Amino acid sequence: MSTPDRPQNEPHIVHEPERRRFEIFVDDTRVGHTSYRDEPERRVFTHTEIDPALEGRGLGGRLAAFALDETAAEGLRVVPVCSFIAAYIERHPRYQELVEGPV
């Protein structure tokens, strides 16, 4: 179901801190997530998944950008253990300043 402020089929992302993950939805269906663990002054991204049927639509990139932007807004550094997040950071230099250690 779409809402007046979100068109139908428009992906949206939510942060679920109690589950330590960011989730991406299309309509009301969760189609992916990125998981993390928080440590003092840093967020360690451990795993990212997108529904295989929806790969190639840019959903993973949207999810990564949102998660990294939220992490930066919280004043945390990033440790990209997850290969997807690490590759995203390599392709988007503006996020490299957030990284603690080599990507």
Backbone dihedral angles phi then psi of residue 40, each to the nearest 5 degrees: -55, 120
Confidence at residue 8, expressed as pLDDT on a 0 to 100 scale: 66
**Which domains are seen in the chain, by residue range?**
11-98 (3.40.630.30)
* 57-83 residue pLDDT tens: 999 999 999 999 999 999 999 999 999
Is 99's pLDDT higher than 80? yes
* CA quadruple 73, 76, 77, 80: dihedral, nearest 10: -80
Name the band, by pLDDT with cuts 50, 70 and 90, for residue 2. very low
pTM for the structure as a whole: 0.88
What is the residue-averaged pLDDT of the chain? 91
